[in-house]
Structure 1
Amino acid sequence: MRRTLRAHGRRTAGVAALALALTATVQQPARAEPTTLAEVRAALQRLYHDAEVATDKYNAADVKVTRQEKRVRTLRAQVGAAERRLTRLTALAGAAARAQYRGGGLPAEVQFVLSDDPRHALENASLARQAQQGTQLVITAVATTSRNLRADTDEASDVLNRLRANRRTMDTEREKIEKHIAAAKRLESRLAASQRRELDAMDTKDANDAQAKWVSTGILGKVGTTTTAAGKKAVEHAAKQIGKPYVWGAEGPDAFDCSGLTSQAWLAAGVVIPRTSEEQWRRLPHIPVESMRPGDLIIYFSDASHVAIYIGNGEIISAPRPGRNVYISPAGSMEILGVVRPEA
Structure 2
Amino acid sequence: MHRRHCAAAAVTLVCALAVLTAPVQAVAAPVPEPTPAAPATPFPGGKRSLEEVRLEIDTLYRQAGAATDAYNLAEEQSKKQSGEISKLGKAIADGRARIAELKSRAGAQAREQYRNGGLPPGAQLVLSGDPRLFLDGVNQVRQGQQAAKGLLTELTRTQEDLETYTEDASLNWARLEANRVKQAKAKKNIDARIAAAKKLESQLATEERARLLRMERDAASTAQSAWLSSGALTDINREASAAGKQAVAFATAQIGKPYVWGAEGPGSYDCSGLTSQAWAAAKSPIPRTSQEQWRQLPHVPIRDMRPGDLIIYHSDASHVGMYVGDGSIVHAPRPGRNVTLTGAGTMEILGVVRPDR
TM-score by structure 2 length? 0.78
How far residue 218 of structure 1 moved from its aligned partner, in angstroms, is 3.8
Cα distance in 1 for partners of 2:293, 2:254 equals 20
Alignment correspondent of 1:324: 337
Matched, 1:226 2:239: yes
Does residue 180 (structure 1) correspond to residue 193 (structure 2)? The answer is no
For residue 288 of structure 1, report the CA deviation from its aligned partner.
Answer: 1.7
Distance 2:312 2:180 in 1: 29
1:203-222 to structure 2, matched below 5 A, reads 203-222=216-235
Q: CA separation of 1:101/1:343 partners in 2, compared to 1, >3 Å: closer, same or farther? A: farther
Match of 2:345, SS state, is: helix
In the TM superposition, what is the alpha-carbon distance from 1:221 to its structure 2 partner? 4.1
| Mapped partners of 2:125, 2:176: distance in 1 | 59
From 319, 322, 328, the counterpart of 1:306: 319
1:150 deviates by 0.7
Residue 29 to residue 201, structure 1, CA distance change in 2 (3 Å): closer
Return closer, same or farther for 1:35/1:149 CA change in 2, 3 Å cut-off.
closer
SS in 1 for 2:132: coil
Cα distance between partner residues in 2 of 1:144 and 1:95: 23
Tell me which residue corresponds to 1:28. 38
User: Residues 132-151 of structure 1 correspond to what in structure 2 (within 5 A)?
Assistant: 132-151=148-167
Alignment map for 1:121-200 (pairs within 5 Å)? 121-187=137-203, 190-193=204-207, 195-200=208-213
Which residue of the partner structure matches residue 16 of structure 2? none
Maintained 8 Å contact 2:60/2:194 = no
Partner Cα distance (2:70, 2:47) in 1:
29
Whether contact under 8 Å (1:296, 1:339) holds in the other structure is yes
Q: Which residue of 2 aligns with 1:11?
A: none
Distance 1:101 1:226 in 2: 82
Describe the shift of the 1:90–1:270 C-alpha distance in structure 2 as closer, same or farther (beyond 3 A): farther
Contact 1:47 1:184 in 2 (8 A): no
- Give the Cα–Cα distance (whole angstroms) in 2 for the partners of residues 181 and 202 of structure 1: 16
**Residue 92 of structure 1: SS of its match in structure 2?**
helix
Deviations 1:105-132 (A, max 9, x none): 8522542653417554322211111111
State the AA in 2 paired with 1:28.
A
2:10 aligned residue: none
Query: 1:256 Cα shift?
Result: 1.1
Equivalence map 1:44-59=2 (5 Å): 44-59=57-72
**One-letter amino acid of the counterpart of residue 139, structure 2:** E
Conservation of the 8 A alpha-carbon contact between 1:245 and 1:256: yes
For residues 169 and 207 of structure 1, what CA distance do their matches in structure 2 show?
32
Q: What is the Cα deviation at residue 230 of structure 1?
A: 2.7
Residues paired across the two proteins, number: 316
CA distance in 1, matches of 2:315, 2:46: 27
**SS across alignment from 1:116:** helix
Contact 1:224 1:294 in 2 (8 A): no
1:107 matches 2:121: yes
The answer (yes or no) to whether the contact 1:211–1:331 under 8 Å persists in 2 is yes
What TM-score do the two structures reach when normalised by structure 1? 0.81
Task: Verify the 8 A CA contact 2:272 2:320 in the aligned structure 1.
Answer: yes
CA distance in 2, matches of 1:247, 1:162: 26
Whether the aligned pair in 2 keeps the contact of 1:244 and 1:325 (CA below 8 Å) is: yes
Distance, in Å, in 2 between the alignment partners of 1:35 and 1:128 is 91
> In structure 2, what is the equivalent of residue 60 of structure 1?
73
Deviation string 1:200-258 (CA, Å, 9 cap, x unpaired) is 33333332333233233444344463233332222222122111011122221111111
- Aligned-partner Cα distance in 2 for 1:145–1:222: 60
Structure 2 Cα separation of the partners of residues 261 and 34 of structure 1: 39
Distance of aligned partners of 1:172 and 1:99 in 2 relative to their CA distance in 1, 3 Å threshold: same
From 250, 273, 278, give the equivalent of 2:291.
Answer: 278
CA gap 1:161/1:123 in 2 versus in 1, 3 angstroms: same
Q: 1:268 to 1:93 in 2, by over 3 A?
A: farther
Do the aligned partners of residues 247 and 34 (structure 1) sit closer, same or farther apart at CA in structure 2, a change above 3 Å counting? farther
**Is contact 2:294-2:312 (8 Å) kept?**
yes
Q: What is the distance in 1 between the residues matched to 2:109 and 2:69?
A: 60
Q: 1:76 to 1:239 in 2, by over 3 A?
A: same
Pick one of 234, 237, 255 that aligns with 2:250.
237
Q: Is the 8 A contact 2:290 2:318 kept in 1?
A: yes
State the alpha-carbon separation in 2 of the partners of residues 199 and 169 from structure 1: 31
Are the equivalent residues in 1 in contact too, given 2:312–2:320 (CA < 8 A)?
yes
The aligned counterpart of 1:89 is 102
Cα distance between partner residues in 2 of 1:65 and 1:278: 17
For the residues of structure 2 that align with 1:64 and 1:41, how far apart are their CA atoms? 35
Contact 2:125 2:133 (8 Å CA) reproduced: no
2:314–2:347 CA contact under 8 A, matched in 1: yes
